[in-house]
Amino acid sequence: MSDPAVNSVQDLINEAGGKLSAKKCDRCQTQFMLSDLMMLMATDDPQHFQIDVGGYCQTCHQFVCPQHIKLIPMVKAKVVRHLLNGDTAQVPADILSRVEFYWLGCDKCTALLDLGTDSDNSVVVFWDPTLAE
């Protein structure tokens, strides 16, 4: 990864204490890493994240590698209400006003990918560090 502004999702998962396991893509047979965490990317530019993990599409019934993933934008109000429990006190208003939230989705059917869940079924939000700059 040559661009320091690009955040490897695998690195973020490791920093969050998540686990990665190897899987094979059902579409192209490429080996990829699957996380045990459900995650959202919070950023003003989705290209700040290197999508280097895959997931499972429950609609297509396939494991898919990063080549078959697209970022799906989420409705900000729902994210704030449900995932942040309406608590935005720890997120500066200027950042929250310009950030968008993205979920990993299947490039074929656009369904949100199942990446596994952590022990308490919570969703980890990865904040783009470049937002603070």
Mean pLDDT by 10 residues, the chain (133 residues): 71 90 96 89 90 92 95 83 66 81 93 62 74 70
Q: Is 32 exposed, middle or buried (0-12, 13-18, 19+ CB in 10 A)?
A: buried
Q: Residue 120's pLDDT is what?
A: 46
Residue 39 backbone zone (phi > 0: left; psi -120 to 50: alpha; other: beta): beta
Sequence spans of domains, the chain: 7-127
Whole-model pTM?
0.80
Q: Residue 89's pLDDT is what?
A: 62
